[in-house]
Chains A and B, each alone.
Chain A
């Protein structure tokens, strides 16, 4: 198959192919192979074909339950990010007449601002002596600081929603933009009120964008280990924390690799489902229009 191609192709393509093979494909393959290894008393890897790590993952509540819990929290983050994104995207797409580009630029700006800065901001806002608590005390709303704010699952969810909302906003806005105004007008002409128009016309047409955005938020939260570290409390444990633990503090690489492979399969599954759904809805749309 490659034989027909001209030498110039190889010249252009070879560096890329080699780089990807060495630094991307082989590393992932290594994780896969490593997940079947065992370790000795001192944590040194022993080549083997053992399913122990997978067995442990699926039989120990610690691992599979944490995975489920992470799913749950990621789903919450995704849902809130979607709920928060839709009105703003709608406003910019349909209501804002002037400064549209400026507004759009403003919603993608946070994407460019350091992740760590955004996580950190919540730390100083939610802390016991933090800005929110001292503000509430200042205006006399509370007498003593609320201590449950920072270092809790709630703080992690708030932080993640904040960090990942722009990822959701962008595709939703783009799909709103692509809806022909004539369709919306037609719906109104046919007597539908704005609610009906929104739920029956605008929302279905923007489903591909909503799916893309939701997938981003879900997958990104699933793999985040920093926000739980920085904002989480004694109860916070995400699957990526255990995963990171296995390579750092626990030093159990086979189990870590097995967790990695499970996570990888889950993420690929989610991505595949989402791209299928997206295609289905966009083709539905193109049939209708």
Chain B
């Protein structure tokens, strides 16, 4: 039995307090999603599943969830193909602009989303793409490509370069080498990147905000609902998002690229 240590206790207490600060608001949302009352105040008088019922009736919100999911799936799929191909190219070849390119692809991840959103808003109409879901999908895909690229590229950098050479020496074609040697090695990075991409797309606001026209994505719909006044079904939908995020996170920690920064 260790003796009581004031300093250790303080650190532990502080750590716990911070953890509480991070989780308290989210717990509140989850708990209050079962509040039967319209006003979110303390204490809760009655518990009920009422707002989940209201939620199921809210067609606009459900449509926006569907739209978000589809954008996420589509954006992730395209980003995986283009991003992985690009990572492969950058891994295999050296070219003058490589350093420059490595920095460019970091921009959409590091720059404030509002900048990217407005840049796209200003330029897309010149390409004949007016604000619409199409524009939103392109916007999402752009930063998802960058995300996949950085993640997969990071994995490539840690790969044993001789593996592929060995495969080639043993007479396999580049195509075979890719499928039999390279892909299995980057598989987990790809799975991790796609989960992260999907979650980020599902949550994206700043870029979407400027490119959206008629059909809202889920976060934009929630934002609009909040702007029009607080409705308690936001608690319910938030709880559902919370659970989805939790599952995605657990999966991604299992597969993910832990050594690289995910942001």
Contact = CB atoms under 8 A, between A and B. Distances in A.
Interface in A244-269: 244, 247, 253, 256-257, 260, 263-264, 267
Contacts, number: 256
A90 interface: yes
B28 A121 contact: yes
Contact of B11 (A28, A29, A95, A116): A95
B120 A13 contact: no
A277 B149 CA distance: 25
B69 interface: no
Interface residues of B, number: 88
Interface stretch (B46-54, B82-90, B159-167, B180-188): B82-90
Contacts of B1: none
A219 B14 CA distance: 26
Given A16-B149, A121-B25, A134-B41, A9 B93 contact: yes
Contacts of B149: 16
B25 A125 contact: yes
Contact of A243 (B41, B42, B118, B241): B118
B25 A84 contact: no
A91 interface: yes
Interface in B175-218: 199, 202-203, 205-206, 210
A10 to B, nearest CB: 8
A118 B104 CA distance: 30
Contact of A165 (B22, B248, B249): B22
- Main SS class of interface, B: helix
Given A20-B105, A194-B7, A264-B111, A113 B92 contact: no
Contacts of B206: 223, 225-226
B4 interface: no
B118 A26 contact: no
B223 interface: yes
A91 B7 CA distance: 11
B263 A114 contact: no
Contacts of B97: 1
Contacts of A110: 22-23, 26
Interface stretch (A47-55, A56-64, A100-108, A179-187): A100-108
B32 A124 contact: yes
- Main SS class of interface, A: helix
Contact of A123 (B39, B86, B101, B226): B226
Contacts of A111: 262-263
Among the interface residues A15, A85, A107, A117, which one has the most CB atoms of the partner chain B within 10 A?
Answer: A117
Interface residues on A, range: 35 or more
B57 interface: no
Given A20-B104, A92-B15, A109-B246, A28 B114 contact: no
Contact of A12 (B8, B89, B110, B226): B89
26 contacts: A12-B92, A16-B145, A20-B105, A20-B142, A27-B116, A27-B122, A30-B123, A88-B14, A95-B8, A95-B15, A105-B249, A114-B241, A114-B245, A116-B205, A120-B226, A130-B40, A133-B41, A165-B21, A167-B263, A223-B114, A223-B206, A240-B112, A247-B122, A256-B118, A260-B115, A267-B115
Cβ-closest 5 pairs across A and B: A223-B112, A16-B86, A121-B25, A91-B15, A134-B41
Interface of A: 1-2, 5-6, 8-9, 11-13, 15-17, 19-20, 22-31, 34, 84-85, 87-88, 90-92, 95, 101, 105-118, 120-125, 127, 129-131, 133-135, 138, 162, 165-167, 170-171, 174, 194, 212, 216, 219-220, 222-226, 229-230, 240, 243-244, 247, 253, 256-257, 260, 263-264, 267, 271
